[in-house]
């Protein structure tokens, strides 16, 4: 093993996913992940605080994409239009090359209650980031919180449909459909 290896983070994430699928999350150690990736255990901990983060490490990037798209939306944009901009920005994170990995990751997360809990915490963090960005745009509560919950639901639904093996649409197309469907459902509530 050399001191520096290119793409260490991605290699560790790939190795972790392979091992979690083969052996189960509980039966896999950080040392085994590093070994599978051809890296030292210390390299694993330079990239991730624990083995869960090998599955959840991109969350900060996703949160930043949402916040940047919402705060960067035109002043005239409605909250729903700002959320649309955020979901479409997230489509760059969820490109076609990432879909198979996301499907496999979902399988691992669904098989473990600790990982399902972590997933819910990360989604709550995304919703809080959305609410903060909407408040930064001048939207007051409770409207900002309600819109953030709407955005979180739109993201969860979009992601679930996007990774469904029967789906053949890209993330952006699914997001547009989800937003339109949720918008129509919301209108029916009034």
Q: Is the pLDDT of residue 4 over 60?
A: no
State the Cα–Cα distance between residues 79 and 182, nearest whole angstrom: 13
CATH number of 8-54: 1.10.10.60
What's the pLDDT band for 89 if we cut at 50, 70, 90? very high
Task: For the chain, give the number of residues.
Answer: 190
Mean pLDDT of the chain, nearest integer: 93
Helices assigned H by DSSP within the chain: 8-23, 30-37, 41-47, 53-56, 59-72, 79-90, 96-110, 113-136, 143-163, 171-189
pLDDT for the residue numbered 6: 74
What are the extents of the domains in the chain? 8-54, 58-189
Q: Is the pLDDT of residue 95 over 60?
A: yes
State the Cα–Cα distance between residues 186 and 182, nearest whole angstrom: 6
Structural contact between residues 172 and 151, judged by C-beta atoms closer than 8 angstroms:
no
Q: Which two tokens stand for residue 87?
A: 């979901």
CATH superfamily of domain region 58-189? Tetracycline Repressor, domain 2 (1.10.357.10)
pLDDT for the residue numbered 1: 46
Q: Is the pLDDT of residue 175 over 80?
A: yes
**In terms of Cα–Cα distance, which of 103, 86, 105, 99 is closest to 155?**
86
Mean pLDDT, range 19-32, rounded to an integer? 95
Q: Which two tokens stand for residue 135?
A: 């408040």
pLDDT for the residue numbered 5: 60
């Amino acid at each position: 093993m050399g001191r520096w290896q290119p793409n260490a983070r991605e290699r560790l994430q790939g190795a972790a996913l392979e091992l979690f699928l083969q052996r189960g999350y509980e039966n896999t150690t950080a040392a085994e992940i590093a070994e599978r990736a051809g890296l030292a255990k210390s390299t694993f901990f330079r990239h991730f605080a624990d083995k869960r983060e090998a599955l959840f490490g991109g969350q900060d990037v996703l949160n930043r994409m949402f916040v940047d798209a919402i705060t960067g939306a035109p002043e005239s944009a409605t909250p729903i239009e700002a959320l649309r901009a955020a979901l479409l920005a997230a489509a760059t994170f969820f490109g076609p090359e990432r879909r198979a990995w996301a499907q496999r990751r979902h399988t691992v997360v669904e098989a473990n209650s600790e990982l399902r809990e972590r997933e819910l915490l990360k989604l709550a963090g995304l919703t809080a980031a959305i609410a903060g960005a909407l408040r930064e745009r001048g939207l007051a509560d409770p409207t900002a919180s309600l819109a953030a919950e709407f955005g979180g639901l739109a993201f969860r639904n979009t992601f679930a449909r996007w990774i469904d093996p029967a789906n053949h649409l890209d993330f952006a197309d699914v997001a547009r459909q989800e937003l339109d469907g949720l918008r129509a459902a919301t209108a029916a509530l009034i």
